[in-house]
């Protein structure tokens, strides 16, 4: 390096504290002769500090709330409005009727196609209790304002951000205010508001407030104009509403698409979910700092009263026991407990065995409602639903529910199926290699984004579906026509972000989801094994029927042309059907159209056994299948009557078996799990002997027919 380019570091200079700061001059600026830059002093830095409004923060970081891109932003606005409507209706004890309308905004020009449009108007109308006039501006135009954050009870909304954030996004992208119409009763006036958010103060700005005539007797209507992108398919508004209908079968939902079509999601469950009750915090669910704050804010005069009054599952006797173990005076004032004494009290509480929190604060979907929603929206041939017992994470109670739909249901009015060609032993029809679809819910709300980061999805991957007859590659979803449904109900769902798109990974939550999925998998495995055995028996029957014609001709020839061929052929066909499962095989394979449980081409399993009574409104009439089933079984039993003379002992036993079979048909299907496992019921001794005797000549005749030998 040359001396011209070398830079010699100068020793640091130390100036007195009271001397003014020397200007800092960069080498480049000094070379150009520029003015030196004055260093910023601590006083100037302190003067620049100011409070940041939460509205300002989320305005710059709107991606945290789910407004990443126009397509996702459109979905988020619809989701927040629908969630608020459903929460309000259920809390007021009203069966929800919700209408969602998407309109393309043209701004004075010819409206473009929905797929090309960039601005939409979202209108959501409900039949809820309405909102009082004084609260409307704050609910729709102030972030972190709501009634659900401080309550420990299950609800869709939690943070008081959602609907006001949707209005803020519309204000940022279009400059238009949120329009609200609300009415609290038929005799009350309907109030119309236009509001926006003052982002600097996080306060509502009311542009218009008046009374109007509205045709609805009560309810709320919200209209937000936003920039967005409409596209059907996965993670779209259409999919969100379909999945909402699955988890909320008690909701009547109408969707007016941007194309002008109307999709109806009818109510298939006419009972409201049980109303959750608010509970007090559990001692296991608080941190040390939170306990100190609660002790400072409590209205109790004693430490024992604070423990028994401000927490659930802590009785006065248990509170006295905790105080004694922590060496804290039970009659002392809570505000005087601090330092090491407070820390000892906290550690004693955590080490004390306390009953789990109550679960009446939860409102799970329920197995019947899950089956109803799955059957209504997903076409399949097997449905099952499981509700796990309540569990606890960090002191918060939660319930995991799982459902499963497998196979494909034939379309109504489809063309007549072609005759089935017998397959060789071990040969199977081509199957689709599609991967299973996972639909996730938290407090009845569909989760459509961040699937790979969700505890639900990870639990599905960790489940060994190969044990239940489903193909699965390592680290991948199971393969096959299957939809996996998982729902978490809790007073506080641990979302990974404010956008509420994925559930955080907790060991307790992961374990409960895995156990629920395993139970669904076991039931699916039972169904698949039944179906495989039925297919095998059906192939055997086809092979028998190939030889029946030759056997009949050979027997006719041996009898010198005096044998009634049609009668013998009918007898041999009945024997072949009986030896290969009879009508049971046809029912499992869906050949009869009735279905094993009286539900057309489907099987529904619950913990109580196999059920066929699914409340699916007017779409499915399960009673038709139940009425047809006894006649089918009775005709199957009649096939055995002609084999033996009516006066014989074996015929008498067969008629007795026939009567008992009819009695069993009228009874309800057995509820125990042991009765679900075997596919075909065991034959009685009289039927075994009867079938053996009838088959003997049929086995001997084909060899003579093939070789051409005669007596």
Query: Sorting pLDDT into bands at 50, 70 and 90, what band is 585?
Result: low
pLDDT tens-digit readout, 525-550? 888 887 777 777 777 777 777 778 78
Q: Is the pLDDT of residue 151 over 90?
A: no
In the chain, residues under CATH classification 1.10.8.50 are: 283-351
Indicate the Cα dihedral angle 192, 197, 198, 204, nearest 10°: 40
Q: For residue 408, is pLDDT > 60? A: yes
**CA 114/CA 237 separation, integer angstroms:** 13
Q: Which residues contact 604 (CB under 8 A, 6 or more apart)?
A: 371, 375, 382, 383, 384, 597, 610, 611, 612, 614
Range picked from 381-390, 566-575, 668-677 for highest mean pLDDT = 381-390
- Nearest in space to 488 (alpha carbons), one of 514, 456, 451: 456
- Please tell me the distance from the alpha carbon of residue 256 to that of residue 99, in angstroms, as a whole number: 8
Rounded CA-CA distance 466/479 in Å is: 10
Query: What pLDDT, on a 0 to 100 scale, did the predictor assign at position 58?
Result: 80
CATH 3.30.230.10 domain range(s) in the chain: 379-411+429-711
C-alpha–C-alpha distance, residues 660 and 666, integer Å? 10
pLDDT of residue 642: 34
Helical pair 649-666 and 622-638, crossing angle rounded to 10 deg? 170
Mean pLDDT of the region 371-375: 85
User: How high is the pLDDT of residue 477?
Assistant: 93
Residue 492, helix vs strand vs coil: coil
Placement of tokens 């039993």 in the chain: 637
CA distance 104 to 692: 74
Q: What is the pLDDT of residues 470-503, one digit of tens each?
A: 999 988 999 999 999 999 999 989 999 878 889 9
Which residues are paired to 605 by β-bridges?
384, 610
What is the value of pTM for the model shown? 0.69
3-class SS of residue 43: helix
Stretch(es) of the chain classified as CATH 3.30.565.10: 56-265
Percentage, residues of the chain above pLDDT 90? 41
Do 75 and 236 touch, CB atoms closer than 8 A? yes
pLDDT digits (tens, 9 = 90+) for 642-655: 333 344 444 444 44
Which residues, other chains included, contact 656 with Cβ-Cβ below 8 Å and sequence gap of 6+? 686
What is the maximum alpha-carbon separation in the chain? Answer: 135
Residue 676 neighbours by CB distance under 10 Å: 17
User: What is the pLDDT, as a whole number, of residue 580?
Assistant: 67
Find all residues with CB under 8 Å of 407, minimum gap 6, and list them: 380, 381, 382, 481
* CATH number of 283-351, picked from 3.40.50.150, 1.10.8.50, 3.40.50.620, 1.10.357.10: 1.10.8.50
How many CB atoms within 10 Å of residue 215? Answer: 6
pLDDT above 90 (res 587): no
Q: What was the pLDDT predicted at 27?
A: 54
Residues 152, 278: Cα–Cα separation, whole Å: 5
Instruction: Write the pLDDT tens digit of every residue in 418-455.
Output: 555 554 445 455 444 689 999 999 999 999 999 999 99
Backbone angles phi, psi at 239, to 5 degrees: -65, -40
The fold adopted by the segment(s) 379-411+429-711 is Ribosomal Protein S5; domain 2 (3.30.230)
User: CA nearest 620: which of 404, 406, 372, 365?
Assistant: 372
Q: Is the pLDDT of residue 359 over 90?
A: no
Rounded Cα gap, residues 488 and 402, in angstroms: 9
| pLDDT mean over 678-693 | 37
409 against 113, higher pLDDT: 113
On the question of pLDDT at 606 being above 90, the answer is: no
Q: List, for residues 200-255, the tens digit of each pLDDT value.
A: 888 999 999 999 999 999 999 999 999 999 998 888 999 999 999 999 999 999 99
56-265 adopts what CATH topology?
A: Heat Shock Protein 90 (3.30.565)
Give 495-536 pLDDT, tens digit per residue. 998 788 899 999 999 999 999 999 999 888 888 887 777 777
Q: Which two tokens stand for residue 21?
A: 């700061």
């Amino acid at each position: 390096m040359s001396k011209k380019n070398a830079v010699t570091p100068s020793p640091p200079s130390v100036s007195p504290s009271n001397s003014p700061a020397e200007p800092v001059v960069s080498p480049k600026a000094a070379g150009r002769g520029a003015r030196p830059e004055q260093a910023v002093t601590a006083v100037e830095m302190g003067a620049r500090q100011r409070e940041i409004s939460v509205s300002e923060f989320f305005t710059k970081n709107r991606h945290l709330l789910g407004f990443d891109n126009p397509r996702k932003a459109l979905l988020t606005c619809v989701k927040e409005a629908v969630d608020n409507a459903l929460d309000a209706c259920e809390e007021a004890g009203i069966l929800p009727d919700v209408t969602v309308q998407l309109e393309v905004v043209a701004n004075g020009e010819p409206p473009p196609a929905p797929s090309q449009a960039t601005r939409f108007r979202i209108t959501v109308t409900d039949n809820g209790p309405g909102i009082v006039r004084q609260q409307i501006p704050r609910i729709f135009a102030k972030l972190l304002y709501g009634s659900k954050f401080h309550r420990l009870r299950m609800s869709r909304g939690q943070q008081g951000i959602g609907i006001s954030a949707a209005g803020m996004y519309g204000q940022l992208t279009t400059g238009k205010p949120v329009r609200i119409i609300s009415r609290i009763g038929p005799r009350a006036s309907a109030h119309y508001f236009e509001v926006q958010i003052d982002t600097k103060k996080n306060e509502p700005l009311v542009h218009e407030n008046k009374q109007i005539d509205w045709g609805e007797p009560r309810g709320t209507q919200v209209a937000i104009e936003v920039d967005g992108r409409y596209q059907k398919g996965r993670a779209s508004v259409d999919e969100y509403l379909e999945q909402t209908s699955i988890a909320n079968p008690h909701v009547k939902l109408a969707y007016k698409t941007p194309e002008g079509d109307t999709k109806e999601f009818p109510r298939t469950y006419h009972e409201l979910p049980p109303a959750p009750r608010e509970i007090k915090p559990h001692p296991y669910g608080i941190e040390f700092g939170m306990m100190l704050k609660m002790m400072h804010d409590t209205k109790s005069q004693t430490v024992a009263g604070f423990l028994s009054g401000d927490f659930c599952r802590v009785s006065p006797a248990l509170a006295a026991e905790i105080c004694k173990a922590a060496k804290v005076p039970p009659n002392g004032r809570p505000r005087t407990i601090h330092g090491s004494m407070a820390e000892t009290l906290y550690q004693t509480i955590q080490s004390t065995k306390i009953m789990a929190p109550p679960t009446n604060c939860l409102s799970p979907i329920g197995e019947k409602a899950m089956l109803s929603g799955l059957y209504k929206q997903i076409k399949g041939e097997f449905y099952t639903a499981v509700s796990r017992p309540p569990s606890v994470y960090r002191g918060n109670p939660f319930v995991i529910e799982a459902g499963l739909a497998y196979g494909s249901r034939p379309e109504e009015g489809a063309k007549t199926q072609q005759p089935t060609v017998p397959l060789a032993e071990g040969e199977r029809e081509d199957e689709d290699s599609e991967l299973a679809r996972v639909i996730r819910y938290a407090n009845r709300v569909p989760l459509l984004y961040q699937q790979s980061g969700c505890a639900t999805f990870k639990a599905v991957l960790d489940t060994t579906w190969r044990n239940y007859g489903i193909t699965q590659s390592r680290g991948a979803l199971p393969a096959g026509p299957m939809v996996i449904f998982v729902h978490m109900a809790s007073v506080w769902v641990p979302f990974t972000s404010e956008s509420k798109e994925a559930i955080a990974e907790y060991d307790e939550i992961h374990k409960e989801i895995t156990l629920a999925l395993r139970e669904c998998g076991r039931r699916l495995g039972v169904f698949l094994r039944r179906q495989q055995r039925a297919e095998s028996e059906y192939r055997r029957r086809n092979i028998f029927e190939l030889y029946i014609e030759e056997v009949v001709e050979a027997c006719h020839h041996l009898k010198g042309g005096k044998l009634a061929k049609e009668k013998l052929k009918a007898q041999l066909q009945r024997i072949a059907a009986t030896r290969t499962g009879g009508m049971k095989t046809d029912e499992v394979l869906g050949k009869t159209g009735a279905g094993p449980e009286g539900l057309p081409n489907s099987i529904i399993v619950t913990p109580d056994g196999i059920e066929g009574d699914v409340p699916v409104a007017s779409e499915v009439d399960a009673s038709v299948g139940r009425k047809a089933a006894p006649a089918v079984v009775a005709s199957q039993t009649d096939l055995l009557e002609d084999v033996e003379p009516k006066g014989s002992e074996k015929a008498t036993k067969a008629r007795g078996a026939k009567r008992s079979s009819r009695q069993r048909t009228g009874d309800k299907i057995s509820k125990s799990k042991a009765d679900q496992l075997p596919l075909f019921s065991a034959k009685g001794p009289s039927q075994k002997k009867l079938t053996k005797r009838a088959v003997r000549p049929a086995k001997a005749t084909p060899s003579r027919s093939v070789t051409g030998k005669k007596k």
